[in-house]
Structure 1
C-alpha cells in the first residue's frame, strides 16, 4: 500500500519511527492498497485504434469515484521462470503468480491455503499441520525457494515460514532445473520477500478466530533519510493459536528487517533477513486408526478433535533464519549485473508420541476396537545452507530481432545433520484418552550426516522477431555429496526450449520441452551409488491476457497440456537375497490438463478459477505400485471464487468453491481418499484507514478425510475456521 503524505513534518516522524524500528530489529507492500487513488494504477493496455481509445475514455469516466482496492490482483510479469523480467504470456511454461493483493483479500495464512485456487497443485495433504506446508505439484513434492535461492529444507521439502513476510508466491510447474539446478520434475515454489519502498506506508493488524487463534502483525516501509538514499522495511508477526485437535497450542514469533541502500540511480543493495521461532505443544500429528475414521468401528466414529499424542510431552521447536542481500548494478540501458546471497539456518527439535494403530489379535483384527498402540519418535535436525547466485542479463536489438540474454553461475553449500530415536509408548484409549503416562525419551542415533556442494553454470536466450518468441536455455551442474563418509559426484546438463506466438489481442499459444534432475541418496546392494533421477516434459498451451480491455479491466487465462516422465526411480531389488535394498529401474509418467483464470473487472469484481485433470502412473517397478497412481494426486480438481467490492471500496464479500477428487494415500493404492466439496467465504469492510475482515474456511463445516496412508495413519481435513481481522493502515 502507498499512502501519500503532503506535510514535511509527517515525513519526518515517519522516517524517525521506521528508522528506530529497523535499527532495533537489525540489532537483535503492505496490505492490498484499499485506499490507493485510482490514478495510481498503471495502465498497461495498448490502444490500437480510435475505437479502443474511446472505450478507454468511457471506462475511465465510469470509474471516477471508484476506489482501487487491489491494483495488482492480476499478475503480469515474472522473472522467476527464466530469471528474466518478461511478461507471463511470453514465458513458455505454466507459471502461477499469487500476489500480495490476492493473499490479503482472501486472508490466506500459509502456502497450503494459497494454492487452493491454483491448478496443478494441492496442499493440506496431512490436514491442518501447523508446522509445515505439505504440497504436491504435478505429482511430486516441490522444494521451496526464498528469493530465488533454495530454502534450508531437510527431511521435509518445506520450512514453514510465515506467509505474512512475503510479497508474492510463484508456482513454477514442470521441470525447472535449467535455471534452478537439482529439483524434481513437477516444479518448485518460490517466495519473494517484502522489500523496502521509497514512500512511507504501513499497517498494524490484529486477528482472533477459531480454536483460540490470536495474532498481531505489522509492516512498515519508507525512507530512512531525507534524501531517500536509505530505505527500510520491518515486518513482524506474533501469534498464539490452537488447532482443531484437542490439547495443541502453537506459538510463533517472526521478524524480517530489511534495508535498501540506493548507492546511485544505477546501483542498489538490499539487505534482507528473517528470524522465526516456533513452538507447537501437544501435537500428536494425526495418525488416527482407519477404523472409526475411514472404515466403520462398532464403537462409533472417531471425532475430528481426537489427539492420540501426549499433550504434556509432545513438543515441536524450530528456530530458523536467513540473512543476505540482493545487489543490482546497471551498466547501461541494455546490460545489468545482479547477485543474490543468503545464509540459511534451520534447527528443529521434536519429541512426539503418536498413534501406531489399533491393538491387533494374531489374525490381524482389532482386539477391542479402542486400544491404540503408540510409538515415541524423537527427532532432531539442523540444516545450514550458503547460497549465492550471480548473473548478467542484457538485451541486443538487431533489425527486427530482439534478444534478451542471461548468463549466470550459482553455488550452494548445504549441510544436514539429523538424529532420531524410537521406542514403544504406553497405549491409549481411542474414545476416552487419558493423558499423563510416564514417557521416557529414547537415546538418539545418527540419521543423516550430509554435506552437499552444488555449482551450476546456466544461460538463457530469448529471441523475439515479429510475433514469434523463442526461448532457449541450458545448464551444467556439478554436485558433490558426502553422507556418513560415502562420497558421490554427479554432473548433469539440463536444457529447455520453448516457442510462443503473440497475437495482437493478447492470445499467446506456446510449446516447450524441458528436462530436470535430482540426486538420490544411498547405494544398491553392491555399494554402487545411485544416479540422479531424470525428468523430461513436453508441454503445449495458450495464455490469454487481453490487450484491448479498457482501464480497470484485467484478466489472465492459461491452459496447458503436458506429458511428464521420470526415470531412475528407486524400486525394490528383485533379488530375494537383497531384502531392503533398491535398484534404479523404476519409472513414472504424469499426463495432465490445466486451466486457470484470474480477473479483476471495474475495480469491483475479482475472479479466480482453476481446473486440473491429472493421469499419473508408475510405469516401471518391482513393487506393488506398478501401474498404480501416484500418492496424493487427485484425478480431478475444480475451484472457483468471486469477490465483489462496491464502488466506494468500503463493503465487499467473496464466495469460493473447491472440489478435490479422489486420490490414494499409499503407493499400492489400497487406501482411497474420497472426493470432497468445500466452500469459503469472506466479508470485508473498509472505513478511512481501517479494515474489518471476516474470513470463513470450510463454510459449511464439512467433515472430511485428508488422507489415509495405512491402517494406522489417517488424517482429517480442516473443519470450519472463522477469523476476524482488524487492520489499521498508515
Structure 2
C-alpha cells in the first residue's frame, strides 16, 4: 500500500491546440498603449545584478537579473517574466510561499489542498517543486521530503521566469523558475517591529533592522527574524517557526561589493496533514487521516552564502555567487487508507518514520563584458557554475492503531518503528554558459547556450539484511535560448523566443531496473509587453507551446512482487496556452495586479488509458485580481486603506484517466489597514492591518493524480507594526 502522505508529488503532463483569440488580446493591449500620445521611454536605472534584485515602483517591477543573469529591463527580456514586489508582500501579508505566488499568472497552487508541510505548485501545468525553485539566482535543490521551507517575511520579492530556462540556469523544469530574493542590507536606516495574532491561535512576533554600521557607509547590515506559535485547521498539525536571517554588505569602493547572506530556521508541523479520503465512495471526509499521537515533523535548515561583484574597468565586471545550505527533517506519520475488514467503525492506518538530511553547495562564477562592434551594442556574459548535492534518508514503515469513527480525534500510541531502508545519494552538476545580448537601435537579440555534466550515485541499503544496491548515472545536455525583442518609443515591446531545458532524474526505475533519463523540454513563445508612458503600468501578454519528453509520473504497475504505484518514465506532455497580466501603482492611491491564464495541457504519449487526456488538476482557465486603495482625503481618513482580491480556479480533472472532476471555485481575500500618523504625527510609523485569506471559508474537495484532498479554509491575521 503506497503512502500518499509521503508520496513525492506527481509530475504533471500537457495539451494541444493554440487559441486564436490570443491575437485579439494582444491587439487590444496594443491599442490601449497607443491611445496615449507617444513619448520617449524613461531610462531605466538598474542596480547591481547580484541575486536577481527587482527594480520596482509599488506593485510594478520593471527590471531584474533573473531573466538574463545580468540586470535587464523586462521589456528587453524575450520571455514571459513577472514579479512579486515588496509592496505586494506588505499589502497581502502572505504567510507561505504559496500565498505569495497566488496572484501570478500561470501559477497553480492548492492542487494538493491544505498541506503546510511543502510548497508544492505548478506553472503552465508543470510541477516546479523540485526543479524550479531558485534562491538569489542560485539553484535550491530538493530530494524526497527534503524541501527547503520559505519564510515570506525574509523575502524582498520574487522574480518569475516562465518557460524552459536551462540555457543560463542548467537543471530546471519545463514550466520555468521562481527566483526568491532575500532581503539585503540597506543604506538607509530601517527599523521595524511587529506583532501578529490570527485564527487557529496564531501568535507571531517579528523584527527587521537594517542600516550602515560606519559613518562612511562602507559596511551595511540587516537582521530579520520572527518567532511563531500556531495551530492549523487540522488537529495535531502545528505551524510553529523560529527564524533568523543576518546579512552584511561591505562596499570598500564604488567598484566592489561583497554581501554575505545567512539564515537559520526551525519549523514544526505535522507528518500527515490530509483528511481521510474514502476512495470507494469518492468522498473526502472531515476525519483527520493521521494519528494525533504520532504526527510530529520538525525541520531544521540553514544557509550561508555570499555575492561578490567587482567592476574591473569600463568593459568587464566579475561576479561570484555561492551558497551552502543544509536541512534535516525528522518526522512520524500515520495514514488511514481503507475500512477495516471486520469492524465498519474502524479505518486501518499505516504508519512510518523517516529522518532525512540534505546538504547542497552551489557556486556560480561569471564575467560580464559591455562593448560595441560598429553599430551593435553587446552585453556578453560567460560563466561556469557547480552544484554538489548529498541526500541521506532513513525510512521505516509499520502500522498504527486504526482510526475509530466514533472517536476520530483520539490519539493512540504507536509501537516503535525501526528504520528499514537507508539511502544515500550524491549528485554533482557542472555547467558552462555564454549569452550575448545584442542591441541595435530598438532591437535586442538574445543568444544563449549552455552545456551541463551531471553525475549521480545512489546507494540503497536494506538494514535488515545489509544488502546494498548501488547505481550510477551520467547525464549530459546542451540547452539554448534565442529571442528577439523590439522596443517602440511608446512603450510597446513585442518579442519572440525559443528555449530548451533539461532536468536530470535521480533514482532507478523499479519497472526496468535502469536509471531514469533526463526530462527534456522545449518552448516556443511570442508575446508583447507594454510599459504605459507616465502611468507606472505594465501590461503583458504571451502565447506559448511547451513539449516535454521523458517526464516522471506515478502509475500502478504489475511487478514480480505484485501491483505497486511507482514512478515510471515514458510519454510526452504538451502545454499550450496564453497568459495576460496587468500591474499598476498609480498616484491616486490605487495599486492593482490582474492575471488570466489559459492552459491546455494534454498527454500526447503515455499509458494507453490516458493518451489524449488532460493532465490532472491543471485547470483550463485561471484568473485573479487584487487591488489595494488608500483613501485620498484630509485628516484622520487619510490613513485608511482597503484591499481585496478574487482567485478564480476553473474546473479540471482529478486523475489522468479523466474520470474524476474538480469543480470551479472562486476564493476571496480581503484586507483593511490604517496608518495612525493620520491621527497625529507623533504616531508616525504605527500601522494596523488585518488580512483575511479565503474569506468565505470554502473548503471544497480537490483531486490530483487520483487522490483527493480538501482546500485550505479561512485564515484571518491582524498585525500591528511600528517602524522608525
Q: With structure 1 as the length reference, what TM-score do the two structures score?
A: 0.84
1:626, 1:175 → 2: CA distance?
24
1:566 has 2:551 as partner: no
Q: Counterpart in 2 of 1:41?
A: none
Question: Structure 1 residues 629, 207: closer, same or farther in 2, change over 3 A?
Answer: same
What residue ranges of structure 1 are gaps of 5+ in the alignment? Answer: 1-47, 57-69, 296-300, 362-366
- Give secondary structure in 2 for the equivalent of 1:622: coil
Secondary structure at the counterpart of residue 211 of structure 1: coil
Could you tell me which residue of structure 2 aligns to residue 24 of structure 1? none
- Distance 1:627-1:586 versus aligned 2 partners, 3 A rule: same
- The secondary structure found in structure 1 opposite 2:607 is coil
CA distance in 1, matches of 2:428, 2:37: 59
Q: Is the 8 A contact 1:124 1:133 kept in 2?
A: no
- Summarize the Cα distance change of 1:210–1:526 in structure 2 as closer, same or farther, 3 Å threshold: closer
The alpha-carbon deviation at position 708 of structure 1 amounts to 5.4
1:354–1:195 CA distance, 2 compared to 1 (3 A):
same
**Structure (1/2) with the larger strand percentage:** 2
* Paired residues of 2:617 and 2:704 also in contact (CA < 8 A): no
Aligned match of 1:667: 656
Give the aligned CA root-mean-square deviation in angstroms: 2.6
Query: Hey, what's the Cα distance between the residues in 1 that align with 2:134 and 2:454?
Result: 18
Query: Number of matched residues?
Result: 648
Give per-residue Cα distances to partners, 1:257-315, cap 9 Å, x unaligned. Answer: 0111112221111111000101125x6311422379964xxxxx843xx4232223210
> How far did 1:523 drift?
4.3
Judging changes above 3 Å, is the alpha-carbon distance between structure 1 residues 692 and 450 closer, same or farther for their aligned structure 2 residues? same
Secondary structure, in 3 states, of the residue corresponding to 1:627? coil
Alignment of 1:432 with 2:432, yes or no, is no
Q: In the alignment, is residue 258 of structure 1 matched against residue 247 of structure 2?
A: yes
Distance 1:354 1:471, change over 3 A: same
Q: Which residue pairs with 1:715 in the alignment?
A: 709
Gaps of 5+ in 2: 1-33, 43-55, 460-469, 677-683
- Partner of 2:691 in structure 1? 695
Partner of 1:376: 351
Task: Map Cα deviations across residues 36-68 of structure 1 (whole Å, 9 max, x no partner).
Answer: xxxxxxxxxxxx9x98999x9xxxxxxxxxxxx
Q: What's the CA shift for 1:82?
A: 1.3
Matched, 1:208 2:197: yes
- 1:475 maps to 2:475: no
Equivalent residue, structure 2, for 1:102: 88
Are the counterparts in 2 of residues 243 and 249 from structure 1 also a CA contact under 8 Å? yes
Tell me, what secondary structure is at the counterpart of 1:701? Answer: coil
Partner of 1:91: 77
1:424 CA displacement: 2.2
Q: How does 1:353-392 map to 2 (within 5 A)?
A: 353-359=334-340, 368=344, 370-392=345-367
**CA–CA distance in structure 2, aligned partners of residues 350 and 630 of structure 1:** 31
Instruction: Give the secondary-structure state (helix, strand or coil) at the position aligned to 2:603.
Output: strand
The verdict on how the C-alpha distance between 1:433 and 1:570 changes in structure 2, with shifts beyond 3 A counting, is: closer
Partners of 1:378 and 1:441 within 8 A in 2? no
- Seen in structure 2, the aligned counterparts of structure 1 residues 719 and 585 have a Cα distance that, compared at 3 Å, is closer
In 2, Cα distance between equivalents of 1:701 and 1:512: 42
For residues 141-162 of structure 1, the C-alpha deviation after alignment (integer angstroms, 9 at most, x for no partner) is 2131111112242225842221
The structure-2 alpha-carbon separation of the partners of 1:439 and 1:344, relative to structure 1 and needing over 3 Å to count, comes to same
Q: Distance in 2 between matches of 1:586 and 1:708?
A: 19
Q: 1:289 aligns with which of 274, 277, 288?
A: 277
In the other structure, the counterpart of 1:62 is none
> 1:494, 1:517 within 8 Å by CA — same for their partners in 2?
yes
Conserved? CA contact 2:623–2:649, under 8 Å: yes
Q: 1:294 to 1:675 in 2, by over 3 A?
A: farther
Classify 1:359/1:339 alpha carbon distance in 2 versus 1 (closer, same or farther; 3 Å). same
The SS at the match of 2:230 is strand
Counterparts of 1:448-527 in structure 2, within 5 Å, are 448-484=423-459, 485-523=470-508, 527=513
Q: Which residue number corresponds to residue 14 of structure 2?
A: none
- The residue aligned with 1:65 is none
Checking the alignment, whether the CA contact within 8 Å between 2:293 and 2:413 is kept in structure 1 is no
Distance 2:277 2:481 in 1: 46
| Match status 1:277 vs 2:258 | no
Does 2:108 match 1:122?
yes
Shift of 1:468: 1.2
Q: 2:526 aligns with which of 504, 527, 540?
A: 540
